[in-house]
């Protein structure tokens, strides 16, 4: 494709309720959307970088800057761009995986639309719907947590993930397990809130038959995770530590994880996410798709990815109304505990113009000379 224009849309969407993790509390989703216009198609991508750098070194303003200064220009100066070529074209820029992922996704969306092919078909999906789990933030009290979990189970979510941190772990997990029983699929996510010294304390979670404990230690501490995995019955899952197929293979070889959470935006895009899926499948390591408070654009791509064969655990791909009163696309609706994988060309959805205009705070555009 010959790319004629790239537009960056800054948007802000209020969350239906504050979302608290060990890293802080979010009240709104500040996102950066990337729109690529080619001669015969257009495509959209969503950058999952947060408003600040508390979760990742990347943040919305930085992603916008690196896209404008360093990532968009190489694509605009190339006559024939494909999604597979985006990674090599941008290899001279170190890091910035979230910004690169947004741009690659927009190119991939446009490319697949031009061929009338869906994301699901392009990635190798084997099902047309995926099981939906929900992530439950840290609450002010255990009764508040139990009410929230009850509400999500009533809505039909098939798996509950509890955010934990020191001082909010064993007691709330015990309360949820006792209230809702052993048949409820339950896992926890620490967002790297613990250290190696907490190993004995974390072993206290073994009593609750959890699916997994996600990213208990610092993202760079693979050896610590390997040691922890040897001392827990609960499977250790890596999230923030997984940034590429290579890092995934290293983590598996070290015994640092028995399960992997794949977030396309964090690893540089859906093509790298598929490679990670393949690495894990070859090693017999199950995967699931994590969430980053995506709008319908990111949610559409994630459902397609989660339809690949080795995604054997429910992901954090919740319905639109889990986070937003009004999504920027047609909403994703929970049906029988599942979300439908879009079947239309590309990611299968697009922003609703009137909604996009309402939530957009700024637009920057680069045109081919």
Residue 11 lies in a domain: yes
Encoded tokens for 4: 């004629």
Average pLDDT over residues 56-76: 95
Structure confidence at residue 105 (pLDDT)? 98
On whether both 335 and 275 belong to a single domain, the answer is yes
pTM reported for the whole predicted model: 0.96
Does position 68 have pLDDT exceeding 90, yes or no?
yes
What pLDDT digit, counting tens, does each position of 8-25 carry? 999 999 999 888 887 888
Segments forming the whole domain that contains residue 127: 121-340
Structure confidence at residue 24 (pLDDT)? 83
**Would you name the residues annotated as active-site residues?**
163, 263
In three-state secondary structure terms, 103 is: helix
Q: Please state, as a whole number, how many other Cβ atoms lie within 10 Å of the Cβ of residue 140.
A: 8
On whether both 174 and 323 belong to a single domain, the answer is yes
Q: Are 13 and 43 in contact (CB under 8 A)?
A: no
What pLDDT digit, counting tens, does each position of 72-131 carry? 999 999 999 999 999 999 999 999 999 999 999 999 999 999 999 999 999 999 999 999
DSSP of 278-345: HHHHHHT--EEE---S--HHHHHHHHHHTTSTTB-S-BS---GGGT-SS-SSSPP--BTTEEEPP-SS
Residue 347 lies in a domain: no
Average pLDDT over residues 198-203: 98
Q: Are 36 and 114 in contact (CB under 8 A)?
A: no
Angstrom distance (rounded) from CA 20 to CA 139 = 7
On whether both 187 and 75 belong to a single domain, the answer is no
- Name the residue with tokens 């429910």: 314
Encoded tokens for 32: 């950066």
Label residue 271 by pLDDT band (50, 70, 90).
very high
On whether both 359 and 293 belong to a single domain, the answer is no
On whether both 142 and 84 belong to a single domain, the answer is no
What pLDDT digit, counting tens, does each position of 128-144 carry? 999 999 999 999 999 99
What pLDDT digit, counting tens, does each position of 307-326 carry? 999 999 999 999 999 999 99
Least Cα distance to 268 among 110, 104, 94, 108 occurs for: 104
On whether both 193 and 292 belong to a single domain, the answer is yes
CATH of the domain at 85: 3.30.390.10
Does position 369 have pLDDT exceeding 80, yes or no?
no
Angstrom distance (rounded) from CA 255 to CA 58 = 28
What pLDDT digit, counting tens, does each position of 173-186 carry? 999 999 999 999 99
On whether both 171 and 85 belong to a single domain, the answer is no
Angstrom distance (rounded) from CA 247 to CA 244 = 5
On whether both 77 and 27 belong to a single domain, the answer is yes
On whether both 76 and 159 belong to a single domain, the answer is no
Encoded tokens for 6: 């790239």
On whether both 142 and 110 belong to a single domain, the answer is no
Residue 112 lies in a domain: yes
DSSP of 175-203: HHHHHH-TTSEEEEE-TT---GGGHHHHG
Q: Work out how many domains the chain is built from and give that number.
A: 2
What single-letter DSSP state applies at residue 358?
H
Q: Are 11 and 153 in contact (CB under 8 A)?
A: no
CATH of the domain at 192: 3.20.20.120
Structure confidence at residue 201 (pLDDT)? 97
Least Cα distance to 5 among 139, 106, 142 occurs for: 106
Q: Mean pLDDT over all residues of the chain?
A: 96
Name the CA radius of gyration of the chain, rounded: 20
What pLDDT digit, counting tens, does each position of 221-237 carry? 999 999 999 999 999 99
């Amino acid at each position: 494709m010959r790319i004629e224009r790239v537009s960056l849309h800054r948007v802000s969407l209020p969350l239906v309720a504050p979302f608290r993790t060990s890293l802080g509390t979010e009240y709104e989703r500040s996102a950066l959307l990337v729109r690529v216009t080619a001669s015969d198609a257009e495509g959209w991508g969503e950058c999952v970088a947060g408003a600040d750098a508390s979760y990742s070194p990347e943040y919305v303003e930085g992603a916008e800057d690196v896209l404008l200064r360093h990532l968009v220009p190489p694509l605009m100066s190339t006559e024939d761009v494909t999604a597979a070529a985006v990674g090599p074209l941008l290899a001279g820029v170190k890091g910035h995986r979230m910004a690169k992922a947004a741009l690659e996704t927009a190119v991939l969306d446009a490319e697949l639309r031009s061929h009338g092919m869906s994301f699901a078909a392009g990635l190798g999906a084997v099902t047309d719907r995926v099981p939906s789990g929900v992530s439950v933030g840290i609450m002010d009290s255990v009764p508040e947590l139990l009410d929230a979990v009850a509400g999500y189970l009533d809505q039909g979510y098939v798996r509950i993930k509890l955010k934990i941190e020191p001082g909010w772990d064993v007691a709330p997990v015990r309360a949820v397990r006792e209230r809702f029983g052993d048949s409820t699929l339950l896992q926890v996510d620490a967002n790297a809130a613990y250290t190696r010294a907490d190993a004995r304390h974390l072993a206290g979670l073994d009593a609750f038959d959890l699916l997994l404990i996600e990213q208990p230690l610092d993202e760079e501490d693979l050896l610590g995770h390997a040691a922890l995995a040897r001392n827990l019955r609960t499977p250790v899952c890596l999230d923030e530590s997984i940034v590429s197929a290579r890092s995934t293979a290293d983590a598996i070889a070290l015994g640092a994880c028995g399960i992997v959470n794949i977030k396309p935006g964090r690893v540089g895009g859906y093509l790298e996410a598929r490679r990670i899926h393949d690495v894990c499948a070859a090693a017999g390591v199950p995967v699931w798709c994590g969430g980053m408070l995506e709008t319908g654009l990111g949610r559409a791509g994630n459902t397609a990815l989660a339809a690949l064969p080795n995604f054997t655990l429910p992901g954090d791909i919740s319905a639109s109304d889990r986070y937003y009163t009004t999504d920027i696309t047609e909403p994703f609706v929970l049906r029988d505990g599942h979300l439908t994988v879009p079947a239309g060309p590309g990611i299968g959805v697009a922003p609703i113009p009137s909604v996009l205009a309402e939530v957009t705070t700024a637009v920057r555009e680069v045109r081919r000379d």
